[in-house]
Amino acid sequence: MALMVPPANEKKRVKVYELKNNDWFDRGTGFCTGRSANEESKILVESEDQPDRLLLETKISKDDGYQKQQDTLIVWTESTGVDMALSFQEAEGCAAIWDFVSQVQSHLLALGGPDDALSDADMEPFPNPLHLPPPEIGNLEEIEHAMRNIATTVAGRDALAKFVINEDYIRKLIPLVETAEDLESLKDLHLLCNIMKMLILLNDSQIIDHIVTENVVFGVIGALEYDPDFPNHKANHRRYLKDNSRYKEVLSIADPSITKKIHATWRLTYLKDVVLARILDDPTFGVLNSLIFFNQVDIISHLQNNSNYLDELFGIIDNPEADLKKKKDAVGFIQSCCAIAKSLQAPGRATLYTNFINHGLLRVITFAISNKEASVRVAGTDILAAMIDHDPSMVRAYIFKSISEKKTPLTDTLIELLLKEVDLGVKAQAADAIKVLLEPQQPPPAQAQESMTRQNGEFMSKTRPQPQPNPQTESFIQHFYDHSANKLFQPLKDLEGRKSLVDITFHEVQLYNHLVEIIMYLSRTHQFRSKFYIFTEDLASRIAELLAAPQKHLRLTALKFFRQCIGLQDEFYNRQITQKGYFTKILDIVYATMPRDNLLNSACLELFEFIKRENLKPLIIHLVETCRPRLQEITYVDTFQTLILRYDQMQGYNPDADTTLFSNDGITTPNRTPNINGTRWQGVKDREMDPAEEDYFNGSDEEDETLPRIKKQRRDSVITNGVAISPMLKSLVDYPDDDDDAMDTSSSEPVERTIEPKLSPSPMLQTPPPERLSEKRRREENDDEDELGKLTTIKRRNSGPSVSSTGGNSTLKRKKAFVSKNENRDSLTDKGSIKKIEISLGAKGAAAEQGSKGDEDA
Amino acid sequence: MSDLDKAISELRACKIIPEPQVREICHKARELLIEEANVVQVDAPVTICGDIHGQFHDLMELFRVGGDIPDTNYLFMGDFVDRGFYSLESFLLLLCLKVRYPDRITLIRGNHESRQITTVYGFYDECLRKYGSANVWRYCCDVFDYLALGAIVLGTSSTLEPSFMDHSQAIEPVDNDVEIEIMNSRNEVTARFPRSRRRLFESEALNSSQPGTPSKIGPSGTGATSDAGGSLQSGGGAVLCVHGGLSPLIDSVDKIRLLDRKQEVPHEGAMCDLLWSDPDEIDGWGLSPRGAGFLFGSDIVKRFNHLNDLSLIARAHQLVMEGFKEMFDSSIVTVWSAPNYCYRCGNVAAILELGEDTSQGGVISRSNGDAGRSLQLLPSNGIPRSGPGRRYRVFDAAPQDPRGMPAKKPVADYFL
């Protein structure tokens, strides 16, 4: 090829990005040139630091995969399917390369042979030049009609977009809106609205960028106020967007282009959320999101490179003279920055935080979380949470520094906040922040870990590789146990000696919930330190006291602590549980809730089911030896009888023989039963009971009286709780009545009714599921249909694109397969909306691929 | 007017209520829900609804078509939030109604009632937008953890009572042979389906010991309370309602009771499956393309129904263009209650009405759910139970709201 085009070989400073694992990965900064040689045209980027190293060498193809976004960005997909982006320092540089690409492409297109990819039926080159009727009020119907026809093909859409931009068509349409309004011609307004909608849905970032500029936006949005789908309604978009008071300018920003960007971003958000919310298709949604994202990146990088501005901004907080409103706004401003930072790439985020911290971010947080107003405290904890999320070790380093400087470390401030805070949201965030700070090195994302542990606590604790101890984190955690833990858990420790939990206040309940959850977290993640701490402070006993709290959800939280202890299958916790006899209290809950089929009851059953299923021998032995009579009385599920049976089998007794009697009354366990009962009654005396319970407990504590009383209580509640008592349950609970005689006469022979150990597979399980879910997830890792799996891979919302073009294609294929197989259109639409969300997560990726794929999708 | 009633009327007008009040309502709801079983027992008559997905105006339309609470009993099978623009108003209204009329409305959990899902599919953002902080989202998520996992409807009738809103037409008794009736939102019958011949034959055979008695039992007061078929023929059997479907780990309804449901919806296991699985035209179990839960075939459903003495499983979770879809010889039905899903799918919605079996003076057979007991009652030949009489009310998206077109609430102020 002769040099048709003057090569754009002036050096343009540029950053090269590659989409990796749904994040834009920075390949480095360099200088960009366009070169044509040997029939091939290429874009080259030479590294800034090592000029002989090429950061990028890509051949320009004729596929229309290139996108110019804003003034400084070019995005495309490599033939290998990798999404790439060039971010130029200067708009002129970008424009030059863009011109080069366009010209090379049009040259290639002109040369295009029969094997051209564009020869697809719907890619027929559009008859050039394209013409729309002149923008006049009388022509609207014709314009709309013409546009609708043209927009049916990809080439048509491209040609239309180019035409609209070159002719500045939108600007010419705008006066018509006012004219039509003056004429009160609803029909024309509806036509204008349709035209504007179509223009936006052309999904061309240049058009959309154009639409939100100051001079154009009100005309376009004005037309969009008259939606023919809602003929009796007129929206008030213009009034909303014209309201300048919505823009809170803490400090005026010197650069007018940045201020413009801020407003444009706001309009884009409004467009996306309100004006177009119902009609947006996925590609346009993606383009809007990517435009918003890149604007935000520009704004943030401008701000953080502007040291004077930051000085002034953070100075507001430190200035004793500044008024409170101003300070609050400054906090809000910084909060917005941190919120945007969440979607930045890690290095960019790191720079931002370092910058902010150097200017006094920690002082801002301290100011905010000690503020009188809850909303400011919320903002403060928000900033803090974002910062800790970004890099806990960085925050830990700062905390160390303040410890060595003998200042109040942030941990103490947080603990203070958790203990004293009245706003439940702030309290919850403080608790979360404490957990993240105490996280050992680089574990899996907190959320996934949490749920995984919840599911397979026993499994995880054994198999999770011990994190490499990081000396700093280690000593941070040690410092926490040495200095802060006592303060944090003091309220729990104060439970000791508290006579009754009846007068427990609302805020105490919230606090205990958080504290128990923190302890659960610690015992999951810090193996020996937490064990030692829980042991020396006897926290488990305090939590056991909460098992008798009047608030059922608090009881549930306490119960979960013990469930987790059991799930960890750790000798240490097992010993604690058996030595301190906590099961008695858990059985108390079973008894108290037994006639009712409620959440607390189910949670208890799950705990005992777990012991049964995992066959935890030490616990079974302890349980049966100390609580046998009580276990025997619980017959409405077979869990407890099975536990007894297991025990008997372990002891080598033939379950059918009378020897079971000996194991109960035998020499080995002389005073056991009375003792346990003794503690039970002691524990019960002090707490308030509901009447039915009282009735039950006030009775004689001789064993043989207990059973009838329980039954009485059951009947009472059946009568008094007509609604709560389910017929199904009733039949189940009444079941033992049929066996009254057997129960009364031979209460120590649970084996009267033969209970099969439920080890044999149930009939449902005879057709086992094809494979474990975990395997399945692994297999489908790259499949973006995988709705749930996908969630687990995305840690931060808006953190980056998650649709790579290959992934997108496979969705498409699968989608088709699914439809034809199963004509069940929901999965199709479901998938559609899933994809949409992914695009919202990954604006850039979607934008990069929208060119060709968008039309297939539509 | 109590605070609660005030909140209800605010919410009915699609207005949000102050944060402290949300907190209070959530806490009250929690106290109620903690008392509910994992599988709530519900007595017929009841109207079963599927996904709502924050389409507030369509929820109002649902109440218009199905009757208002407390006049009609409702059972909502989850997915109240996400996707639509009014998740907050929809969920809070349902929650307020739950607190106000606890025995008139049952809410069970859907896969979208989860922290993880709501941060991605819109509810989290909506709370942030409408309240400026995530507090309300936290309160709601706390409530999610307490929602029941399923419900079992007892005392259903095998016949259809005349529609309660038949004002326009003279009340004509519905033919006892009608098993399924479909009505539109104007309360007009659009289709009726009789019980299949096979089933008729079966019931006649069972009644043969008393020739002359009608095979179906009439409404209460008619004296036609023959006990020929016992609970088997006069009732419509028990209906299990879950959001998603079955789990390979759950072979009886009782097994659901042994779950500790107060947790974030896990990624696998029985609780996850109940909320995520889908029926499919396969044999046995299959992998779900959703990445959670399983696909299950007709053999699984039929065996489960047989073992648990159920006549029908009602579930939601999948968009169906017609609003409802019965599968596997009517052993399972999908009910979808979000018309024009996402404001652009163009589907209609449906709710399922199950009538009350009045033939036994309101006494309900207690056998259901107890696997051991029900076996004695089941006909040994294993013929599936005949289903309850089912009335589907199909409705379109709410007519245009006079206050405006559905949209998200814009961010109020901006710094950047």
Is the separation of the CB atoms in A248 and B414 below 8 Å? yes
Average pLDDT, stretch B210-236?
Answer: 39
Spell out which residues of chain A touch residue B367, defining contact as CB-CB under 8 Å: 731
Q: Please give the share of chain B, as a percent, with pLDDT higher than 70.
A: 79
- The answer to whether A767 contacts B103, with C-beta atoms less than 8 Å apart, is no
- The answer to whether A273 contacts B251, with C-beta atoms less than 8 Å apart, is no
A726 and chain B in contact, CB less than 8 A? yes
Facing residue for A277 by CB, picked from B284, B402, B408: B408
Tokens at residue A109, please?
A: 């297109």
Tokens at residue B338, please?
A: 């979000």
Please tell me whether residue A853 adopts helix, strand or coil conformation. helix
Spell out which residues of chain B touch residue A602, defining contact as CB-CB under 8 Å: 37-38, 257-261
Is the separation of the CB atoms in A629 and A649 below 8 Å? no
Average pLDDT, stretch A731-742?
Answer: 37
Which amino acid would we find at residue B59?
L
B375 and chain A in contact, CB less than 8 A? no
B37 and chain A in contact, CB less than 8 A? yes
Spell out which residues of chain B touch residue A732, defining contact as CB-CB under 8 Å: 254, 370
- Which residues in chain B (178-197) have CB-CB distances under 8 A to chain A? none
The dihedrals phi and psi of B285, each to the nearest 5 degrees, come to -105, 150
Spell out which residues of chain B touch residue A424, defining contact as CB-CB under 8 Å: 23, 135, 138-139
Tokens at residue A529, please?
A: 């330190």
Q: Among A26-30, A354-358, A691-695, which is the least confidently predicted range?
A: A691-695
B383 and chain A in contact, CB less than 8 A? no
- The answer to whether A727 contacts B366, with C-beta atoms less than 8 Å apart, is yes
B38 and chain A in contact, CB less than 8 A? yes
Strand partners, B294: B287
Spell out which residues of chain A touch residue B370, defining contact as CB-CB under 8 Å: 728, 731-732
pLDDT exceeds cutoff 60 at A13 = yes
**pLDDT confidence tier of residue A716, bands split at 50, 70 and 90:** very low
* Distance (Å) from the alpha carbon of A342 to chain B's nearest alpha carbon: 14
Per-residue model confidence (pLDDT) at position A348: 86
Provide the CATH number for the domain formed by B17-164+175-405 in this structure.
Answer: 3.60.21.10
Chain centroid to Cα A844, Å, comes to 20
pLDDT exceeds cutoff 90 at A80 = no
Per-residue model confidence (pLDDT) at position B220: 32
Per-residue model confidence (pLDDT) at position A40: 75
Chain centroid to Cα B358, Å, comes to 21
Average pLDDT, stretch A821-850?
Answer: 35
Facing residue for A556 by CB, picked from B36, B262, B284: B262
Which of A827, A846, A826 is closest to A836 using CA atoms?
A: A846
Facing residue for A833 by CB, picked from B31, B83, B370: B83
A858 and chain B in contact, CB less than 8 A? no
- The answer to whether B116 contacts A825, with C-beta atoms less than 8 Å apart, is no
Facing residue for B404 by CB, picked from A233, A767, A837: A233
B20 and chain A in contact, CB less than 8 A? no
Q: Among A20-29, A705-714, B35-44, which is the least confidently predicted range?
A: A705-714
Residues A778-816: pLDDT tens digits?
A: 433 333 333 554 454 443 333 333 333 333 333 333 333
Pick the catalytic residue from B53, B112, B243, B317: B112
Instruction: State the distance between the two ends of chain B, measured CA to CA, in whole angstroms.
Output: 43
Interface predicted TM-score (ipTM): 0.83
Distant-in-sequence contacts of A155-159, Cβ < 8 A, 24+ apart: A155/A118, A155/A122, A155/A123, A155/A124, A155/A125, A155/A126, A156/A126, A156/A130, A157/A202, A157/A203, A157/A855, A158/A64, A158/A126, A159/A126, A159/A128, A159/A130
Provide the mean pLDDT of chain B: 83
Tokens at residue A213, please?
A: 């500029």
pLDDT exceeds cutoff 60 at B330 = yes
Pairing of strands A12-20, B349-354: unpaired
pLDDT exceeds cutoff 70 at A673 = no
A229 and chain B in contact, CB less than 8 A? yes
Give every CB contact of residue A7 below 8 A, 6+ residues apart in sequence.
Answer: A33, A34, A35, A36, A100
Among chain A residues, the shortest Cα distance to B36 is held by A598
B257 and chain A in contact, CB less than 8 A? yes
- Residue found under tokens 């409408």: B130
Is the separation of the CB atoms in A460 and A452 below 8 Å? yes
- Which residues in chain A (317-356) have CB-CB distances under 8 A to chain B? 329, 332-333, 336-337, 340
* pTM (two decimals): 0.72
Which of A280, A559, A589, A599 best probes binding to B when mutated, by most B CB atoms within 10 angstroms?
A599
Facing residue for A451 by CB, picked from B264, B294, B318: B264
Per-residue model confidence (pLDDT) at position A841: 34
Facing residue for A599 by CB, picked from B34, B134, B412: B34
**pLDDT confidence tier of residue A43, bands split at 50, 70 and 90:** confident
Give the number of beta-carbon pairs within 8 Å between A and B.
268
Among chain A residues, the shortest Cα distance to B238 is held by A728
- The answer to whether B290 contacts A785, with C-beta atoms less than 8 Å apart, is yes
Which of B24, B36, B274, B260 is closest to B147 using CA atoms?
A: B36
- The answer to whether B416 contacts A296, with C-beta atoms less than 8 Å apart, is yes
Better pLDDT: A528 or A599: A599
- Which residues in chain A (601-660) have CB-CB distances under 8 A to chain B? 602-603, 605-607, 609, 637, 639
Provide the mean pLDDT of chain A: 72
Per-residue model confidence (pLDDT) at position A597: 81
Confirm whether B27 is a catalytic residue. no
pLDDT exceeds cutoff 60 at B195 = yes
A720 and chain B in contact, CB less than 8 A? no
Kindly list the distances between the CA atom of residue B341 and the CA atoms of A201, A261, B109, B397, in Å, as whole numbers in the listed order.
20, 34, 19, 9
Is the separation of the CB atoms in A395 and A410 below 8 Å? yes
Tokens at residue A449, please?
A: 């870990």
Instruction: State the distance between the two ends of chain A, measured CA to CA, in whole angstroms.
Output: 37
B322 and chain A in contact, CB less than 8 A? no
Please tell me whether residue A63 adopts helix, strand or coil conformation. coil
Highest mean pLDDT among A133-147, A219-233, B90-104 belongs to B90-104
Per-residue model confidence (pLDDT) at position A11: 67
Facing residue for A727 by CB, picked from B31, B364, B407: B364
Three-state SS across chain B?
CCHHHHHHHHHHCCCCCCHHHHHHHHHHHHHHHCCCCCEEEEECCEEEECECCCCHHHHHHHHHHHCCCCCCCEEECCCCCCCCCCHHHHHHHHHHHHHHCCCCEEEECCCCCCHHHHHHHCHHHHHHHHHCCCHHHHHHHHHHHHCECEEEEECEECCCCCCCCCCCCCCCCCCCCEEEEEECCCCCEEEEEECCHHHHHHHHHHHCCCCCCCCCCCCCCCCCCCCCCHHHHHECCEEEEECCCCCCCCCCHHHHHCCCCCCCCCCCCHHHHHHHCEECCCCCEEECCCCCCEEECHHHHHHHHHHCCEEEEEECCCCCCCCEEEECCCCEEEEECCCCHHHCCCCCEEEEEECECCCCCCCCCCCCCCHHHHHHHCCCCCCCCCCCCEEEEEECCCCCCCCCCCCCCCCCCECC
* Distance (Å) from the alpha carbon of B46 to chain A's nearest alpha carbon: 15
The structural domains of chain B, with segments of one domain joined by +, span 17-164+175-405
Kindly list the distances between the CA atom of residue B247 and the CA atoms of A452, A775, B154, in Å, as whole numbers in the listed order.
19, 17, 22
**pLDDT confidence tier of residue A844, bands split at 50, 70 and 90:** very low
- The answer to whether B262 contacts A599, with C-beta atoms less than 8 Å apart, is yes
pLDDT exceeds cutoff 80 at A483 = yes
Q: How many CB atoms lie within 10 A of CB A179?
A: 15
Spell out which residues of chain A touch residue B294, defining contact as CB-CB under 8 Å: 769
**pLDDT confidence tier of residue A151, bands split at 50, 70 and 90:** confident
Kindly list the distances between the CA atom of residue A424 and the CA atoms of A380, A411, A447, A507, B4, in Å, as whole numbers in the listed order.
14, 19, 20, 9, 21
